[in-house]
Amino acid sequence: MRTAVVWEVLREALDGRVEQGPGRELDVLDTGGGAGHFAVPVARLGHRVTVVDPSPNALFALERRAADAGVADRVRGVQGDVHGLFDVAERDGYDAVLCHGVLEYVDDPAEGLRNAAAALRPSGLLSVLAPGLGGAVLARALAGHFSDARRALTGTDGRWGEGDPVPRRFTAEQLTSLVGDAGLEIRSVHGVRIFSDLVGGLEEQEPGAVEALLELERAAAQRPDFHSVASRLHVLATRK
C-alpha cells in the first residue's frame, strides 16, 4: 500500500527503457537503497542493481534479502552516500538511478540531485521519492497538534518540532525545481500516500476496503490538486 503507486510507475518506466535500448538488462543505481526494498524487486525484473548506502547494517540486510529472493548475483551493495557518489559508483554509467528517501537527509539536496543526474547515461531515468510538506501539516492538524502544523507550514524545512524524525520536507514545486535545475526533464509527478497515512487502520475494518483504498490512491496520484496534501512526492525524470 505504502509504495504501490511508486513501484507501478517505476516498473512501467523501466520496461519502457528496455524497449528503447539494445538489451533487456539495465544497469540501475539505487542511492540510499538500504535493505533493498526497491533494489531486489528491480533485480527480479532481470536488471543489475548497485545499492549505495552509508549503513553497514542495511547493506547486510540487503545481502540477505537478495539471497532469499534468488537475485544475489544481480545485486551489489557498496558503502557510501550521494555526496561522495563517484567514489563508489560510475559517472554516466547507469540506465536508471533511484533516489528514494535521500534528499530529506543530505546536507545539500541540490548537490545530491546533480550527482544522481551525472550518474545517468543519456536519456536515463531518475526516480525521486521525498516527503511532502502538505501531508505532514495535514496529519498534525488532524491529530490536534495545531501549533506543530503551523510550524511545519511556515518553517523553512517543513519540520513540525524537535521530535520530528524527518529533517526536511518539500512541496511539489520545490522538488520539481530541484530536479529541473539538475538538468533533468520531468516526465511525471505523483502524490504518494495521500490517504493511507490519514485513515488510521480504518481500511482494515471492512472487507475489500484495502483494495478500494489502493484504487483511490492510484486515481489521485497524478492529480496536481492532491500533490499538496500527499505524504510523499514521486518525481520521474530523464537526463536531457
| Residues 184-197: tens digit of each pLDDT | 999 999 999 999 88
Buried b (16+ CB within 10 A) or exposed e, 148-186: bbebbbeeeebbbeeebebebbbebebbbebbeebebeb
Is 90 exceeded by the pLDDT of residue 21? no
Is residue 205 very low, low, confident or very high in pLDDT (cuts 50, 70, 90)?
low
Is residue 210 very low, low, confident or very high in pLDDT (cuts 50, 70, 90)?
confident
> Could you give the angle at the alpha carbon of 127 between the alpha carbons of 121 and 131, nearest 5°?
150
Is 80 exceeded by the pLDDT of residue 157? yes
| Residues 111-137: tens digit of each pLDDT | 999 999 999 999 999 999 999 999 999
- Residue 198 is predicted with a pLDDT of 85
Mean pLDDT (the chain, rounded) = 94
- Residue 203 is predicted with a pLDDT of 60
> Could you give the angle at the alpha carbon of 104 between the alpha carbons of 166 and 238, nearest 5°?
145
| C-alpha dist (Å) from residue 157 to 24, 62, 126, 203 | 41, 31, 24, 31
Residue 236 has, within 13 A of its CA and on its CB side, a CA count of 22
- Residue 208 is predicted with a pLDDT of 83
Of 13-22, 47-56, 87-96, the poorest mean pLDDT is in 13-22
- Residue linked to cell 537478495: 66
Which residues lie across from 170 on neighbouring strands?
132
Asked if residues 89 and 81 have their Cβ atoms less than 8 Å apart, the reply is no
Residue 204 or residue 120, greater confidence = 120
- In this prediction, residues 30-52 reach a mean pLDDT of 96
- Residue 2 is predicted with a pLDDT of 77
Question: Measuring CA to CA, which residue among 222, 220, 224 is closest to residue 196?
Answer: 220
| Residues 67-106: tens digit of each pLDDT | 999 999 999 999 999 999 999 999 999 999 999 999 999 9
- In this prediction, residues 5-28 reach a mean pLDDT of 90
| Residues 216-232: tens digit of each pLDDT | 999 999 999 999 999 99
Of 18-27, 66-75, 153-162, the poorest mean pLDDT is in 18-27
pTM greater than 0.85 (yes/no): yes
Full 3-state SS string of the chain: CCCHHHHHHHHHHHHHHHHHCCCCCCEEEEECCCCCCCHHHHHHCCCEEEEEECCHHHHHHHHHHHHHCCCHHHEEEEECCCCCHHHCCCCCCEEEEEEECCCCCCCCHHHHHHHHHHCEEEEEEEEEEEEEHHHHHHHHHHCCCHHHHHHHHHCCCCCCCCCCCCCCCECHHHHHHHHHHCCEEEEEEEEECCCCCCCCCHHHHCCCHHHHHHHHHHHHHCCHHHHCCCCEEEEEEEEC
Is residue 176 very low, low, confident or very high in pLDDT (cuts 50, 70, 90)?
very high
